[in-house]
Amino acid sequence: MSIARKSWNELDDQAVAISRALAMDAVQKVGNGHPGTAMALAPVAYTLFQRIMKHDPNQPNWLGRDRFVLSAGHSSLTLYIQLYLSGYGLELSDLQSFRTAGSLTPGHPEFGHTTGVEITTGPLGSGISSAIGMAMAARFEKGLLDPEGKSDLFDHDIWVIASDGDLQEGMSAEASSIAGTQELGNLKVIYDDNRISIEGDTHVSFTEDVSARYRAYGWDVIEVSTKSDGDVDRIALEEAMIKAQSQSKKPTLIRLKTVIAWPAPKARGTSKSHGSALGAEEIAATKRELGLDPEQSFIAPPEVISHAREVRSRGADLSKEWQIRFGEWQKNNPEKAALLSRLQKRELPAGWELSLPTFEAGKDIATRAASGKVINAIAKVLPEFWGGSADLAESNNTTIEEGGSFLPSTSAMKDANPYGRIIHFGIREHAMGAILNGIALHGLTRPFGGTFLVFSDYMRGSVRLAALMDIPSVFVWTHDSIGLGEDGPTHQPIEHVAALRLIPNFTVIRPADANEVAIAWREVIKRGKPAGFALSRQNLPVVDRQSCGSVEGVAKGAYTICETDGTPDVILIATGSEVSIAIAARELLAKEAIAARVVSAPSLEWFALEGDSYRESILPKAVKARVSIEAGVGIGWREYVGDSGEIISLDHFGASASAGELFKEYGFTAENIVAAAKRSIANSK
């Protein structure tokens, strides 16, 4: 689908000039923000939105659109001003309320808050890394809908503006390396090389040849210098953008030299202009340089706005022409059209959950192994379900059988398939997290990614962003405790489950047995929310549900897995591998005529969503004797056990020894739980 480009004219020049002025004025009015980059990038963003990108402001979620990612999220005005000029719904008043409470123009772009914002950005490196996930998702979706390549309906580009800071962050290096391996020809990154950061010249810390680095990754690199006066060479830039559009074999990096805060007489090229208002005097002088009235603020001539909003007509023509061809595709591909309709509605096929396995009581199976079986069962009924691991697929059990390796057709690797369902992230946890977020944001598919729980630290920033954006990224973390054994304290997570529970809007699930895993996966898929599994390396007994509570209780986050007659004397609350130990302790207590209820609490977040009556039925206030058992730090459990309760936890690092030895050494035994239960009963009287 080609875009007809009109000749650049004086109104375009004026639009760029007022874009620069609006950036200055918005920051000046609120008294804080980042004007310099938005000023320098005004012609870049304007050219993208007006002349290059395929988008329709009338239909912000049009399936055929290009995506835009402002990885340099601190320069949010770069995006907001173009959304205003293009007619996405932002108005001048929104720019005037920049960075103020309740505005549509917060300090950094927020997904779901402002129409036209495709992703939350701000943490440097995250935007470009998630954009790579979007580019991967676009290819995978192409495989679902048009595997034979008969149409360009589902072909589009992912455009990114990235800063020096983005490319300094390690996660962007991880992700950019993957992008090169994947030959993502639909990824176009404009690198704003202004050599300025908060501490001044970036050469105090950043001196490598970025172009050579990206060529080594397998990217096409185009370099665009500034004009002699320091302004962006817009003509050369547009030529580079058009060239990038024609590159389909590898990702493109346009290395664009800019002068921050151009054309401010004193502030240009300075670190001060990066994150501070320029001041009234400098703004007035800059407006004179731009040919604008220095006495006016928030200048928006009607003829300029009207001219810029002609992009709405162009977008409408593009989407209309696309829709006609899409209608023909629907007629010719009814099954794929039905699939697409379901994916767009975020619906699941009727009865899909019937495919989930059940596991025989009395058997022993690690929850990571059970998860692997459930993943493959889901994959058989949900073609949109795909994912992989940070080089730990055999340990994480994240391989989709016969799914094919997601790799370009040129790859010589075994099972390479450009539309494969198995993603090989390599040993790049943070990039994996960001890529999963990009895939989820792209909208049609359901991604997952695995590593060891202890390495969730490496990807915490991406997990937090998934929670902040409320997107269905799923993280599969295995080797969840000292139960992994001999690999020792470097690999034994202690504080990780508690730390992950602290992230708002994020669900942590630590199942007690294989059947809990199956129900938990069912709920994760149904709910479509960000979630992470903490799964065991070691085998765990499959609980006999004939004598214990229904596994359906998993959906409520915590439930009575083993009940007693009448009011219990003590409640034992456990998660994961410690549930079976609590059940054993219950049996020992029964021999001493002490009635113990065992509560399995795979997800405290889901439990918190339940009503007061349900929570009271599981943890009645009248029963003050309680013991929590979890092989990790005890932070957070006092809320559940109360003042009279006992917390069996691990508040120090582990050691290199067998799981059995470590559980015994650190008190995760039925006998120790019995002793704690007796103490709690005594304390509660």
Instruction: List active site positions.
Output: 429
Residues 6+ apart with CB under 8 A from 101: none
Count CB neighbours of 678 within 10 A: 18
Q: Give which of 478, 468, 420 is closest to 445, Cα–Cα.
A: 420
Distance CA 465, CA 123 (A): 9
Give the number of other Cβ atoms within 10 Å of residue 660's Cβ: 12
Question: What b-and-e string marks burial along 326-350, b requiring 16 or more CB atoms within 10 Å of the CB?
Answer: beebeeebeeebebbeebeeeebee
Alpha helices in 146-233 (DSSP H): 164-168, 170-182, 210-217
Cβ(441)–Cβ(469) below 8 Å: yes
Q: CA-CA distance, 593 to 382, in Å (whole number)?
A: 50
Check residue 607 and give left, alpha or beta (phi > 0: left; psi -120 to 50: alpha): alpha
Report DSSP state, residue 350.
T
Residue 422, SS3 per DSSP = strand
Q: Bridge partners of 196?
A: 201
Taking the C-alpha atoms of residue 89 and residue 108, their distance in angstroms, rounded to an integer, is 18
Of 477, 478, 474, the C-alpha closest to 446 is 474
Which contiguous run of DSSP H or E holds residue 187? strand 187-193
DSSP symbols for 78-95:
HHHHHHHHHTSS--HHHH
Cβ contact 216:206 at 8 Å? no
DSSP codes of every residue in 247-276: --SS-EEEEEE--TTTT-TTTTT-SHHHHS
